[in-house]
Amino acid sequence: MAEQLREGGCLCGAVRYRITGAPMGVEYCHCSMCRRAGGAPVVAWADVSAGNFAWLQGTPVSFRSSREATRLFCGRCGSPLVFQWDATPEKLSVTVGTLDRPEDFVPRQHIYHADRLPWLLLSDDVPRYDQDAPEG
């Protein structure tokens, strides 16, 4: 896949980023914090190593969403962009929905599936974990 296809950015275009290499994982998160931060029933994330991620344009706003994690978003339009655990600074997660070609990032598992909204009907057959995935 050509490198330019792995870029992404917020709704207003002020903040842009690039991912190099393949993501380590792609998953749906059904947790209530992602739901609220994303304003959506479920949020898809692509996990990438920090060394394979770069901001291209603009500076996101940082919000400490819990004692252990930070979320980055566009301060102008509000698009959620990045999630990062304090304990694992070597990796971060990017919202698949803000990638220029989200169709190329196919989720391979559901995490926090126990928290999913009951009216969200899913027919895929990828693994579903009640909490985080075993491989993290």
Q: Are 120 and 41 in contact (CB under 8 A)?
A: yes
Q: How far is the CB of 103 from Zn ion (least distance, A)?
A: 21
The span from the CA of 65 to the CA of 59, in Å, is 18
Closest CA to 72 of 2, 10, 4: 10
Q: Is the Cβ of residue 14 or residue 133 nearer to Zn ion in the bound state? A: 14
Q: Does position 26 bind Zn ion by CB under 5 A?
A: no
Q: Does position 101 bind Zn ion by CB under 5 A?
A: no
The CA dihedral of 70, 109, 46, 88, to the nearest 10 degrees, is 40
Q: Is the Cβ of residue 21 or residue 86 nearer to Zn ion in the bound state? A: 86
> Which string of x and - marks every residue 40-79 that binds Zn ion (by CB under 5 A)?
----------------------------------x-xx--
Taken as a whole, the chain contains a residue count of 136
Q: Site for Zn ion (CB under 5 A): which residue of 31, 37, 48, 81?
A: 31
**Judged by CB under 5 A, which stretch of 16-24, 28-36, 102-110, 114-122 contacts Zn ion?**
28-36
Q: Are 70 and 64 in contact (CB under 8 A)?
A: yes
Q: Site for Zn ion (CB under 5 A): which residue of 26, 34, 82, 96?
A: 34
The span from the CA of 80 to the CA of 72, in Å, is 6
Q: Which residues bind Zn ion (CB under 5 A)?
A: 10, 12, 14, 29, 31, 34, 74, 76-77
